[in-house]
Chain A
Amino acid sequence: MLMQTDTRADTRPDPAVMARPTPVLALDGITKTFPGVRALSNVTLKLYAGEVTALVGENGAGKSTVVKTLTGIYQPSAGRILLDGKEIRFASAQAAADAGITAIHQETVLFDELSVAENIFLGHAPRGRFGLIDWAQTHARAREILQGIGSDLAPTARLRDLGIASKHMVAIARALSIDARVVIMDEPTAALSHKEIHELYELVDTLKAQGKAILFISHKFDEIFRIADNYTVFRDGQFIGDGRIEDTDNDALVQMMVGREVAHVFPKRSPSHGDDVLSVTDYSHPTEFEDISFSLKQGEILGFYGLVGAGRSEVMQSLFGITRPSGGAIRIDGAAQQIRSPAEAIAAGIVYVPEDRGHQGAITALPIFQNVTLPSLGRTSRRGFLRLAEEFALARQYCERLELRAASLDTELGTLSGGNQQKVVIAKWLATQPRVIILDEPTKGIDIGSKAAVHDFMAELAAQGLAVIMVSSEIPEVLGMSDRIIVMREGRMAAELSGDEMTPETLVRHAAGITQALTETRT
């Protein structure tokens, strides 16, 4: 099996490597750091003309950072980008586009009110005399590009009148309207139907035949094995290995993606739990999820794992009353509950600590104590009037419990660091004295030390009898913290795992939809 764990291994004279042509585009030892975070660490990536390279990795492996580095949005902190073997620097997104690198994103920005041709050529339309746009040429070239990808859309059609699949074609045509040599496809099939996916595969074959180098980012193993020629695996911003797709299989890729070592120690927890607190049956939403059923005991931590977009957060937001379900039932302590708003969820004892705490959690212009007491004002009021002394007491009680460091509880929340703001947001929810606490990606974007503190704290909450739901995309965290794990895929429950079933491999398999049959045919 080909598993290079060190980038220097590439420089060894290997006949197979020596025989390959110079990559059109290569990343050599690229490192990208952000304040406090190392997103990419000395990674290598090679893209060859007329070949598809699949970039594989878990959420947070650094795939998006690579795309942004290749398209000139990020400048690498160290390392070289090589175009035809010559070092090049992309000072801007425009510079990368001029070099012939184009990306088709998951959600491409298109303009509904403009025509197909205008969308394709916006910003670089063919110019005629006096620098005015040459419409005849614009339309002719748009038609040409669309025909090249097998689409017969009219260049004059207005985008708002088109369906999603046609819009996607326009996005691809836009990407190809610059004379692209390298095409990056970032999860291009995420929003497509089965039929459209097959059309996309044909398009990829067309682009290959035209000699373009393609970087294909996908979580779906079946499509990686269907269209890729090469693979590269990243994990936690590190290059793990690469090679020809025919030299590997499902099991080997999964191994490389998840690794083996568990980096840090998770808190020890009691295996015994209390009575059922929350039970959810056949919970469904018209567009986001279907048939979600689970129960949760006092003192238990239930992990929700899945790929980004699997519908985990959507389920939680619905349980919390942000969106209305189309069917199903919620019981708390055995009693059926109707939850139609977050206020009703809080009253029923369910709280939700959102993933995006800046956007959905913190009110930075308000003082710390007012952030903490906001959902609990009913308890600190007398005859409709707020009692500041009681508010301060409540806020102090929970801020001390979370060991918040702040000069005064009267200072604006915005003056605190991100980690301390997170503590205030959690203090706010604990102050409501909930039965069930839902933590959505509780450790996303925080450093290792703070992560351990959050994990200890979750264990403590569970020990105190709270029922905890943790949505997480980090495999070690899900495995290390959860008593049981529900894996979601495409809005449905793919598996409910407990005990010995909880392994990195089973998680990845269920999340990516790798069936046992597929694995057997390949091994």
Chain B
Amino acid sequence: MSILKARETILAGAILALLLLIATRFPAFVSPGNLAAVFNDTSPLILLALGQMVVILTKCIDLSVAANLALTGMCTAMLNIAFPGLPVAALLLIAVALGTVMGMINGLLVWKLDIPSIVVTLGTMTIFRGIIFLISEGKWVNSHEMSDAFKAFPRAELLGLPMLSWIAIVTVAAFFVLMTRTALGRAVYAVGGNPNAAVYTGIDVGRTRFAAYTISGALAGLTGYLWVSRYAVAYVDIAGGFELDTVAAAVIGGVSIAGGIGSVAGAVLGALFLGVIKNALPVVGISPFWQLAISGAAIILAVAFNAKAGKTKGRIILRKAETAA
């Protein structure tokens, strides 16, 4: 546990150092208002990274989250056009339900057919994008077609923060409880930590993975509506490639790609790290290419660091290795 905590402390320190570095040249960036804006901008990534974290903890991966988000977003946008009177609460419910169903499809395929998760979700990712094309006929849903209530919800402020931020905060809190205080959360860690041992402990590995995908899908659906209403546009390719950002956030946050190790705080910090870089670089005047390169370097550094931290746990047999290390 102390290692995990240390890992998250180091990441939080890195984010603070990054902010301080930026502050020396652009003090406005670290003003409370701007930091809140950065957090709000990072909220969709935080939501999806949490879902991705749960899936990765069970030794799986969900590449279909961004496609799920885009399909749900398109569905809610088209519903809004067809039934402009539909209240936002109903839209939120529909979005979560749609995303949940898509997550359940992933989960069932991984569970019942025992297909590797990367293949299953690569397939469903493509299928979900294809369905968007079919229902929208490749057309965009633009801002003027959406109702004002539809667009207003994520921006609506409560105690100075937009709803989008509040949803992220509430979800983070709920996930903290889920992962540390429920049998499902514990089962997720056990399944990823040692699937064989989990079976012998009476945990149904397939069912637990199904639950993880369902959670990931529900979050993708929720984020689908928030994304489309925030940017006020829906089309086939929204959030294209975003699934890899969610994996990156989880991995930078110390979630082991081999499963079983990771925390809610880590995933959130990983997402915030990427969010700060994404928002700071244009301010500093560095090209988007460097943003990609820095994100990539952060992933490799994080994984290398975690692998090294994991290795020292082993028994040192050679005396010379002990002195060398």
Contacts and interface: CB of A to CB of B under 8 A. Distances in A.
Interface of A: 35, 320, 322, 341-343, 345-346, 352, 354, 359-367, 370, 374-375, 377-378, 381, 384-386, 388, 410-412, 414-415, 428
Given A363-B194, A386-B182, A411-B1, A345 B202 contact: yes
A367 B3 CA distance: 12
A384 B181 CA distance: 9
Main secondary structure, interface of A, reads: mixed
Interface in B270-318: 313, 317
Given A341-B204, A410-B1, A366 B189 contact: yes
Contacts of B203: 342-343, 374
Interface in B242-286: 260-261
Interface in B182-197: 182-183, 186, 189-190, 193-194, 196-197
Contact of B202 (A346, A360, A364, A366): A346
Contact of A342 (B3, B200, B313): B200
30 contacts: A320-B200, A322-B200, A346-B202, A352-B200, A354-B200, A359-B197, A360-B196, A362-B194, A362-B197, A363-B189, A363-B190, A363-B193, A363-B194, A363-B260, A364-B193, A365-B194, A365-B260, A365-B261, A366-B190, A370-B186, A370-B189, A374-B186, A375-B202, A377-B183, A377-B186, A378-B183, A384-B183, A386-B181, A386-B182, A411-B1
B323 interface: no
Nearest to A367: B1
Contacts of B261: 365
A119 B163 CA distance: 63
Given A359-B197, A360-B197, A385-B182, A365 B202 contact: no
A35 B318 CA distance: 12
A342 B193 contact: no
Contacts of B186: 370, 374, 377, 386
A388 B182 CA distance: 10
Contacts of A341: 202, 204
B198 interface: yes
A454 B176 CA distance: 39
Interface residues of B, number: 25
Please list the 10 inter-chain residue pairs (A to B) with the smallest Cβ-Cβ separation, ordered nearest first. A343-B202, A363-B193, A342-B202, A365-B193, A377-B183, A363-B194, A346-B202, A360-B196, A365-B260, A375-B201
B199 interface: yes
Given A374-B186, A386-B181, A414 B313 contact: yes
B8 to A, nearest CB: 15
B154 to A, nearest CB: 31
B26 to A, nearest CB: 41
A374 B201 contact: yes
A77 to B, nearest CB: 15
Nearest to A425: B197
A30 B205 CA distance: 46
Given A352-B200, A363-B197, A384-B182, A412 B260 contact: no
B287 to A, nearest CB: 40
Contacts of A352: 200
A342 B201 CA distance: 7
Given A35-B317, A366-B189, A322 B199 contact: yes
Given A354-B200, A386-B186, 18 more contacts: A322-B200, A342-B199, A345-B202, A346-B202, A359-B194, A360-B199, A362-B194, A363-B194, A363-B198, A364-B193, A370-B189, A386-B181, A386-B183, A388-B181, A412-B3, A412-B313, A415-B313, A428-B201
A194 B183 CA distance: 51
A361 B1 contact: no
Nearest to B192: A365
A384 B184 CA distance: 9
Contacts of B197: 359-363
A374 B261 CA distance: 16
Contacts of B183: 377-378, 381, 384, 386
A111 to B, nearest CB: 21
Nearest to B196: A360
A346 B204 CA distance: 13
A215 B197 CA distance: 38
Contacts of B199: 322, 342, 360
A383 to B, nearest CB: 10
Nearest to A320: B200
B175 to A, nearest CB: 14
Contacts of B3: 412
A385 B3 CA distance: 26
A428 B201 CA distance: 9
Contacts of B198: 363
Contacts of A384: 182-183
**Residue among A35, A360, A384, A410 facing the most chain B CB atoms (10 A cut-off):** A360
B153 to A, nearest CB: 30
Contacts of B190: 363, 366, 374
A281 B7 CA distance: 54
A362 B198 CA distance: 9
Contacts of A367: 1
**Residue among A352, A359, A377, A414 facing the most chain B CB atoms (10 A cut-off):** A377
**Residue among B182, B183, B202, B203 facing the most chain A CB atoms (10 A cut-off):** B202
Nearest to B259: A365
Contacts of A354: 200
Nearest to B183: A377
A411 B1 CA distance: 6
A344 to B, nearest CB: 8
B189 A365 contact: yes
A345 B190 CA distance: 19
